[in-house]
Structure 1
Amino acid sequence: MEYIRTPKVENVRFLYRYPTVSNSSSTGTLYLTATHLIFVDPGLKRETWILHSLIASVEKLPITTIGSQLLMRCKHFLCITFVIPKEKEAHDIYQSLIQLSQPSRIEQLYCFHYTASNEFFTIENGWNKISIEQEFQRMGCPNNNWKLSTLNKNYELCKTYPRCLFLPNSADDYIIRGSAKFRSKSRLPVLSYLYTNKASICRCAQPLSGFNARCIEDEKLLDHIRRTNPKSPLLYVVDTRPRINAMVNKAQGKGYENEVYYENIKFHFFGIENIHVMRGSLQKLIDACELRTPSMNSFLTGVEGSGWLRHVKSILETSVFIANAVHNGISIVIHCSDGWDRTAQTCSIASIILDPFYRTIDGFQTLIEKDWLAFGHKFNDRCGHINGDNREMAPVFTQFLDVIWQIMQQNPCAFEFNERFLISINDFVYNVQFGTFLCNCERERNELRLSKRTFSVWAYLDAHRMEYINPLYQQMDSMLTVSVAPQFIKFWRGLYNRFETGVHPRDFLEDILRAKYHHIDQLRKHITFLEKYLEQHQKPKENGQTKFRPLGSIDLDEIDRPLKVVEQCMQRLEMQHEQNLKDQLSNKNCNELEMEKCSVVDDDDETNENNRIFSNQSPIPRPNSLKLENNNNNQDVLINDEHEPKDCLSLPMDQVIQDCSIISLNWQSFQNLKNCTCSTPLEPYSTRLHCFACGHIFCIRCIDKRCNIPCHEPISLSKPVCRNCFIRLTKSNSIDA
């Protein structure tokens, strides 16, 4: 708080990048807190929250007649301009943002202050979800060819590698240590991925070969890697750098392997540029996106001049080559300079092309944990989490996500997750809301005890999994077919122009399909419950025929609309309920002794069983009657009543009818939807969720509750509901109970 000189400024103008007739600017109040910059426009009921850690740069523009302008660019591609009336207030805000956006100590980052007070997970969730050793066991390691080495259990062999390293079974400790000394940063060749045909992908850093240096141990280790794959006599060594860059490194005592010393090895160079070129390329792409009055020619020229799509194509081309070689039974060793940027990109992308597990939500999280976090991508330096050398910053991970998006465009049914999932991960990498993407290697994260002091991003993504489901996903076990033709490389508008409201479609097809997917799934569960409930509670006639025709006999072709199935179920429930009321009235004059006898009759007597179930003397609590208990994070945690029946099909019929009246069969459409019920504007790519009870669409703030949805089979557990439905479903008098 010592950096905040002016916490509140009124009459601040927010200038839109693409002004229209209805919104050229808005006026409101600017707030500065310890973690966020907040702009509130009371007229439009619009709030803009920006984490200080997301601010990339703040520029103070020349004073104009309307005030001092502050141009702020963010790491997640938001560019905004504030006009502050008074020069002193503008200067104070400028100085405060410079200091708050560039913390000098890692403990000042937002993840150490984030409490997840409105979420449904704890600080323990997510950290132990992924085990690198278990992931290698899924691949079949250890086996006769690969062993788990303990040489790095205390990070003595390589400080930036994980404790868990898999190496050739035939390589002894002397060879392993010798190879580590010959590789840059001691990053020796280790296993990254093992394919089903025994071909492998190994990763390392460049050798310290210079012009004529050699290392017998390193040569033997690569030969041992080659021998782990008996199906191929060759081993490919892929250097992801341009050849000229590798030759320059030779003059510095590094370089690449000498083919004279390494037998049965074939070398391949690819033209992926270094971090400095990529950083400049992204800046040129952002400049093209921020043109004030872009024309077709100027925008396309700017995108082409940035070279960004050319770099994306180069990474994809290298990864496809690696995947094809491994699929054909040839093992590969990959390196760049130090093995934590281009090597991480190509290893992980090739694995996604080869392995369908990595195309699932859990698999993609495992891939990032293995190839990026465990093997030491420098997130602190590349993302600029703390104040340091700006020359170390580079959009390496963003580029990786861009390539994944390119593959998703060619294979829209192959991935379990959607575009929003990739964008969310990119945001979490830079905003440091969670401790997952903090530090440069596994050792540093363990030293800071991040799993005890911060929340895990995997817990958040799992809690919001339904927002990231791809409704077109079809599980397949084959390798992906990916084209690297220039016509298939696209500009990712959803990421780089995400905040430009004028360049997006009115309704996103992905949002519509996802909503329909969940809606149909809920209707199926509702129909299944009603079918089973009717079947269980129908009374047989004396001649053995049922009173009502079973729902399963309904011919769907005769129904003019799908919701009529549910409507017919409701009509039958009401008819059954009326019949039960008549039965209860006819038995009302029974004496107390007869009632006691009825209560102990054997369960095989169906008539007496129904009398017991529907008796008003001993009502059975509804399965959705929940206790709310505040945990340490002040979250609403749902606790089942100890007397709650496990079988919801045994509920009284009047209770079922009451519960069904709460659930809406029709869900609100996204068409022409501009604002939430709280008047919050629903911007493109903002989170818009349906309430699983009433079916209306709400913003993320208004649908921050979870509870079970009754009258579904199987019961829908912990679904998002609005606050009004939360009160009705849980029988609570307050949403904060």
Structure 2
Amino acid sequence: MEFAELITTPKLDGVVLHSPFHDPIDGTLCITGHHLILSTRKENVQELWLLIQAIDSVEKKPPSNPAQNGGTIILKCKDFRQLQMDIPTSYDFQNVYISIERLSNLDRAELSYPFFYRPMYNILEDGHTLFQPETEFSKLLSTDEWRVSHVNRNYSVCRSYSQTLIVPKNIDDNTLISAASFREGGRFPILSYKHENGAVLLRSSQPLLCNSNKRSRPDEKILDAVLGPYKKGYIIDTRSTNLIGHCKGKGGGTEPDGHYTQWNKICKNLDKLVKCDGSVLEHFSKLIEACNDPNISTDKWLSRLEGSHWLTHVQNVLSSSCLVAQCLDKEGVSVLVHGSSGLDATLLITAVAQVILNPDCRTVRGLQALIEREFLQAGHPFQTRHAKFCYSSSKNKNLQPTFLLFLDCVHQLHYQFPYSFEFTTRMLIVIFENSYYSNFGTFIGNNECERREMKLAENTTSFWSYLNRPDVITNFLNPMYEPNKAAIWPSIAPVSLVLWSDLYLRWVVDQKQQRRATQKIQQLIQNDKDLRSKVIRMRKQLIDLQKELQHVRLQNDDEFLEEN
């Protein structure tokens, strides 16, 4: 298929663009296979380059007066921006609408822009291979407790897992294969994180009991190998007891108590995320609707914010993550986290718990490694979950803002502990944007297997390769960062949670002054650091000079003694 077949009007003059915080621009619209470009001859006016993949919804609005020609096309984007284009003639109005509608709904990943993008800079490091499990767990693998398994080399054991898995050293591959048949989608328990006190965080999917409470000795063997004799662990099930009962009716459920005697079970009510019924996206859509209402009163705003339940979801995730973190850190007890499929709430909880506990996850590279490990390599289905977003009328049950919820939780932690993160929340926003639309191939596909089938490493550029370039990453470094080796325990009280206004309100409330103030603060801090560095250098020079003077004085004393 050629893109030209989908574009009925590739170029059109006299288009007027209305965008947030800018005066209307009259220019020429060009439609390519991947971009909308609006250019003008006016000086000091920046042209629009909009990636078509960023468009979530296309709406057309005919003129109020039937005697008038043309119409208005409204583009609602996945970064919450809303753009309006006034088209001069009815014929072009219809053609432009159809062209954008076709291009924004292509469902073949291989036709997306990352496969056509060629960077105009040198690739300093290949982000596609930057966070390999052997490297990330190198310290752990040097012990006698864990090993690398390639049992999933051809993705035959579990399609959603990566090829390289970290498993207990005394568990052979045949045991892993048998255990996989006991878990939904083959997602048997594997290592997610080992805490400094030795406690281990595992993740998996639900067991398949087939209504008979059958057992799997290989599965039990894996979990018992992690604990060791006479020790206890926790199974944190992200579902409510009602949902577990519903899953039992379909052959799923939870581990039978009689066969997992060393494990205590705790159920957390994160049903909305586990059921994947689209309700979380629906709640988020209500939040964005309220954010985009310019005439909303204070009372109505507070009511609609509460009615969206978005901050309730954030609170529930933080609460469950803190529980997991406390089990690991305070009690020194290992934890297995799972829900039904182990693809959404499970990964969300294990990832946020690590940000709370592990100071490395609060650095630039550490957060990237965490996203690779807990979402990309763990099989979070980005392609399916991010196909559409909050503006789309297609509320498919597979669409979920799980990853955005993770980033919002990190934002809440950053808000409460601003000095403990090496990066600013602006980096979280850039990661969010690139997970939904991008020049890069990092977030394409639903799992590693699909990404290898599409040969992403050979055909696309990694987002991490771009982000980690020195001239890029310096824009997202936190000037107030002070490394904190301790765990950070957030307050999850409702009054402690805040709306992420820098993200959700950035096209509604002009944040230009706020950005200027932030830049000024960063400059002051940098100047202060430069001054401190200068003082330290001068102090060192003074010490060296004093040492030199003392040495000269000692030489003079020796010469005086020799002469007398």
Measured against aligned partners, the alpha-carbon deviations of 1:248-282 in whole angstroms (never above 9, x if no partner) come to 11111112222233212111111222231111111
Structure 1 contact 13–84 (Cα < 8 Å) conserved: yes
Structure 1 contact 60–94 (Cα < 8 Å) conserved: yes
Q: Indicate which of 456, 459, 480 corresponds to 2:465.
A: 459
Measured against aligned partners, the alpha-carbon deviations of 1:89-133 in whole angstroms (never above 9, x if no partner) come to 12111111111112232221111111122x3436x6323322211
Matched, 1:33 2:39: no
Q: Indicate which of 485, 491, 494 corresponds to 1:486.
A: 494
C-alpha distance 222-127 of structure 1, shift in aligned 2 (>3 A)? closer
> Match of 1:191, SS?
strand
1:104 is matched with 107
1:168 is matched with 168
CA distance in 1, matches of 2:498, 2:309: 13
Report deviation, 1:9.
2.8
> Match of 2:259, SS?
coil
Counterparts of 1:64-143 in structure 2, within 5 Å, are 64-65=64-65, 67-117=70-120, 119-121=121-123, 125-138=126-139, 140-141=140-141, 143=143
Matched, 1:286 2:297: no
Structure 2 contact 168–222 (Cα < 8 Å) conserved: no
Amino acid at match of 1:429: S
C-alpha distance 110-223 of structure 1, shift in aligned 2 (>3 A)? closer
1:248 is matched with 246
CA distance in 2, matches of 1:508, 1:257: 55
Amino acid at match of 2:500: W
- Runs (4+) of structure 1 exceeding 6 A deviation are 385-389, 522-533
Counterparts of 1:261-300 in structure 2, within 5 Å, are 261-272=259-270, 273-274=272-273, 275=276, 276-300=278-302
Report deviation, 1:134.
1.5
Unmatched 5+ stretches in structure 2: 542-551, 553-564
Structure 1 contact 322–332 (Cα < 8 Å) conserved: yes
1:308 is matched with 310
CA distance in 2, matches of 1:394, 1:116: 31
C-alpha distance 174-112 of structure 1, shift in aligned 2 (>3 A)? closer
How many residues matched? 529
C-alpha distance 385-442 of structure 1, shift in aligned 2 (>3 A)? farther
1:414 is matched with 420
Structure 1 contact 226–235 (Cα < 8 Å) conserved: no
Report deviation, 1:226.
4.6
Structure 2 contact 202–336 (Cα < 8 Å) conserved: yes
1:204 is matched with 204
CA distance in 1, matches of 2:232, 2:82: 51
TM-score, scaled to structure 1:
0.67
> Match of 2:480, SS?
coil
Counterparts of 1:44-63 in structure 2, within 5 Å, are 45-63=45-63
Q: Indicate which of 334, 337, 357 corresponds to 1:331.
A: 334
Amino acid at match of 2:99: S
* Higher helix residue share: 2
CA distance in 2, matches of 1:466, 1:171: 44
1:397 is matched with 403
CA distance in 1, matches of 2:195, 2:260: 24
Looking at CA atoms only, which structure, 1 or 2, has the larger radius of gyration? Answer: 1
C-alpha distance 219-435 of structure 1, shift in aligned 2 (>3 A)? closer
1:147 is matched with 147
Amino acid at match of 2:215: C
CA distance in 2, matches of 1:363, 1:506: 28
Matched, 1:356 2:367: no
Amino acid at match of 2:244: A
CA RMSD of aligned residues (A): 3.0
Counterparts of 1:575-614 in structure 2, within 5 Å, are none
C-alpha distance 318-290 of structure 1, shift in aligned 2 (>3 A)? same
Structure 2 contact 37–47 (Cα < 8 Å) conserved: yes
Matched, 1:510 2:509: no
Measured against aligned partners, the alpha-carbon deviations of 1:479-506 in whole angstroms (never above 9, x if no partner) come to 1121111111111111112222436644
Structure 2 contact 232–263 (Cα < 8 Å) conserved: yes
Report deviation, 1:64.
2.4
CA distance in 1, matches of 2:327, 2:366: 22
1:450 is matched with 456
Report deviation, 1:306.
1.1
1:680 is matched with none
CA distance in 1, matches of 2:150, 2:496: 44
> Match of 1:284, SS?
helix
Amino acid at match of 2:227: R
Amino acid at match of 2:56: A
Structure 1 contact 373–441 (Cα < 8 Å) conserved: yes
Report deviation, 1:438.
1.1
> Match of 1:70, SS?
strand
CA distance in 1, matches of 2:364, 2:225: 31
Matched, 1:428 2:428: no
C-alpha distance 262-526 of structure 1, shift in aligned 2 (>3 A)? closer
CA distance in 2, matches of 1:325, 1:505: 43
Structure 1 contact 40–47 (Cα < 8 Å) conserved: yes
Structure 1 contact 12–84 (Cα < 8 Å) conserved: yes
Matched, 1:216 2:222: no
CA distance in 1, matches of 2:198, 2:533: 43
Structure 2 contact 168–226 (Cα < 8 Å) conserved: no
C-alpha distance 420-358 of structure 1, shift in aligned 2 (>3 A)? same
1:182 is matched with 182
Measured against aligned partners, the alpha-carbon deviations of 1:672-713 in whole angstroms (never above 9, x if no partner) come to xxxxxxxxxxxxxxxxxxxxxxxxxxxxxxxxxxxxxxxxxx
Measured against aligned partners, the alpha-carbon deviations of 1:141-182 in whole angstroms (never above 9, x if no partner) come to 353332322322232321211122122233344432221001
Greater CA deviation, 516-525 or 307-316?
516-525
C-alpha distance 129-216 of structure 1, shift in aligned 2 (>3 A)? closer
CA distance in 1, matches of 2:540, 2:223: 64
1:344 is matched with 347
Report deviation, 1:513.
2.9
Q: Indicate which of 360, 381, 384 corresponds to 2:384.
A: 381
CA distance in 1, matches of 2:372, 2:312: 27
CA distance in 2, matches of 1:62, 1:301: 33
Amino acid at match of 1:130: F
CA distance in 2, matches of 1:452, 1:163: 18
Structure 1 contact 226–233 (Cα < 8 Å) conserved: no
Greater CA deviation, 34-43 or 284-293?
34-43
C-alpha distance 532-189 of structure 1, shift in aligned 2 (>3 A)? closer
